[in-house]
Amino acid sequence: MDAYALSITQASELIAAGELSPVELTESVLARIEYAEPHLNAFVEVTADLAMIAAKAAEVEIAEGGYRGPLHGIPLGVKDLYETAGIRTTSSSKVRADYVPDTDSTVVQKLLGAGMIMVGKTHTHEFALGGVTPTTRNPWHTGHIPGGSSGGSGAAVASGECMVGLGSDTGGSIRMPAALCGTVGLKPTYGLVSRRGVASLSWSLDHVGPLTRTVRDTALVMDAIAGYERSDPASLDLVPQSYTADLDHHAGDDLTGLTVGVPSNFFFDDVDEEVDAAVRAAIGQLEFLGARVVEVTIPMAQYISAAAQLIVRAEAAAYHRRMMRASGDLYTEQVRRGILAGEVVLATDYIDALRMRTLVQREWSAMVIGAGVDVIAAPTCPIPAPPADLGTRTWASGLVEDLGRAVGRYSAPANIMGLPGLSVPVGLSSGGLPIGMQLMGRPFEESTVLRVGQAYEQTKATALPVLAL
């Protein structure tokens, strides 16, 4: 197997044993990038020279007994919303085409401190305001979108261009590209991972987290990036935990004692037949593994997306207020329209949307506690990746839906509630496109979500392959 195709867990074991050097691994990944990028355009910028310098330094450090741990020497793709010292951070926008930060964002700082090798900056839908990532294509079928807004990271991880892709998730932007590209993606609980140095879309709903090829790889990254930081006002000071240690603790266990809630409304409304079948089959696997499966009703479903819409519009307009007046013509048209719309949302409506969020949270927690649910399992997206020219679909309900919007229809609840949401691959459509299952847990119960995700993952004969193009 080529080194770029390894999981982090596999590669780190080889590096720790001296059987694979960070230089060999980085060279393999950079060669893969050179091969795949003409097809995918997942990266805004590839930092090959810097990566090789870092890889050589890691090789020397490890040889001298300075092994830092399982992320040492592992290639990293950084979504271009994350500030990187001395490296352009464009948010995939002409507005910030020449912006070079002086410092790293907190998550990048932590991962580089753990020894990761940054190979480049991955594309985002401009300023994270979209689920398409029009710059980039899906490695499973380059005529299709990768999803967004962390579409560059999704495409890069799925195709072997890096082993971790950083993402951000305000309305599904980690989980959607994970589902559509066939990777694992975790949106952690609101407040668990610092957002300092990551361009904001909506302070109230923004989350940052990883996309990887396996659940355990996600746990490895979470071990490094979770933690309190005062400069993020949402950050919470909690007792640190090891997500990999928890997975190890439960190694060999089945899912007996855990309860999986399956929504009877909202999440399976207007869903593609193949997505429905794949996710229900995966839920069947969870039951086979010993989980109790119960039906749940999503409360206030009709209000969740409405509240998210108003909060994101108003906060995005505030964030972009000065840039929009100085450089409005540099935004792509639809992103500019989306941001400008927030300029005319009344403050009272915005505040009432935040009040509605409180109500929805109360109802959701009552539902989860009342049913004794540990995780809710549902499709991540209603459809597999649509074609790059999008189009519409008419559902049995009569709804005519734009496919660019459809991909994000199931995402908002985890953002509004701030809950951990993990997308894991559960199969392929007849068109050969990945399907993702979303596992939503209780707040700060990432360990449970990861445990369920890994238990499912291990029922498959092999992990999803790193793709040939």
Partner 1 sequence: MSQLLPTDGPAAAEIDLPLSPEVTEPPGAPQLYDAGTLAALLRVADLTLTDEWQQKLLATVNDLEPALHRLRALDLGETPPATAFDARWF
Site for partner 1 in 164-183 (CB under 8 A): 171-173, 176
> Which residue type, as a one-letter code, is found at position 340?
L
DSSP result, 285-341: HHHHTT-EEEEE--TTHHHHHHHHHHHHHHHHHHHHHHHHHHHGGGS-HHHHHHHHH
Classified as helix, coil or strand, 216 is helix
Question: Which ranges of 133-197 would DSSP assign to H, the alpha helix?
Answer: 151-159, 175-181
Bridge partners, residue 296, by sequence: 263
- Shortest approach of partner 1 to residue 250 CB, angstroms? 33
79 in catalytic set: yes
Classified as helix, coil or strand, 50 is helix
**Options 34, 253, 273, 287; binder of partner 1; rule CB under 8 A:** 34
**Residue 389 engages partner 1 in binding (rule: CB under 8 A):** yes
Catalytic residue among 7, 28, 79, 92: 79
**Options 131, 209, 227, 441; binder of partner 1; rule CB under 8 A:** 131
**Residue 129 engages partner 1 in binding (rule: CB under 8 A):** yes
**Options 359, 366, 394, 432; binder of partner 1; rule CB under 8 A:** 359
Smaller CB distance to partner 1: residue 312 or 377? Answer: 312
Task: Specify the stretch interacting with partner 1 by CB under 8 A; choose among 20-28, 210-218, 228-236, 434-442.
Answer: 228-236
Number of residues interacting with partner 1: please give it, by CB under 8 A: 89
**Residue 230 engages partner 1 in binding (rule: CB under 8 A):** yes
**Options 62, 107, 132, 464; binder of partner 1; rule CB under 8 A:** 132
Q: Which of 210, 278, 283 is nearest to 433 (CA)?
A: 278
Long-range contacts of 13-16 (CB under 8 A, 24+ apart): 15/62, 15/67, 15/72, 15/73, 15/74, 16/67, 16/70
Here the tokens at position 429 are 């459509």
- Shortest approach of partner 1 to residue 90 CB, angstroms? 6
Binding track, positions 313-342, relative to partner 1; x by CB under 8 A: x----------xx------xxxx-xx-xx-
Catalytic residue among 173, 202, 411, 429: 173
Helix (H) or strand (E) segment spanning residue 363: helix 347-371
**Residue 390 engages partner 1 in binding (rule: CB under 8 A):** yes
Interaction with partner 1 in 51-80: which residues (CB under 8 A)? none
Binding track, positions 99-118, relative to partner 1; x by CB under 8 A: --------------------
> Which residue type, as a one-letter code, is found at position 440?
M
Q: Which of 383, 372, 332, 453 is nearest to 147 (CA)?
A: 383
229 burial (CB, 10 Å; 0-12 / 13-18 / 19+) is middle
Please work out, in degrees rounded to the nearest 5, the angle formed at the alpha carbon of residue 414 by the alpha carbons of 289 and 126: 120
Interaction with partner 1 in 394-433: which residues (CB under 8 A)? 395, 397, 399, 401-402, 404-409, 412
- Shortest approach of partner 1 to residue 446 CB, angstroms? 21
Catalytic residue among 7, 28, 149, 204: 149
**Residue 194 engages partner 1 in binding (rule: CB under 8 A):** no
Interaction with partner 1 in 246-265: which residues (CB under 8 A)? none
**Residue 97 engages partner 1 in binding (rule: CB under 8 A):** yes
> Which residue type, as a one-letter code, is found at position 302?
Q
173 in catalytic set: yes
Residues designated catalytic: 79, 149, 173
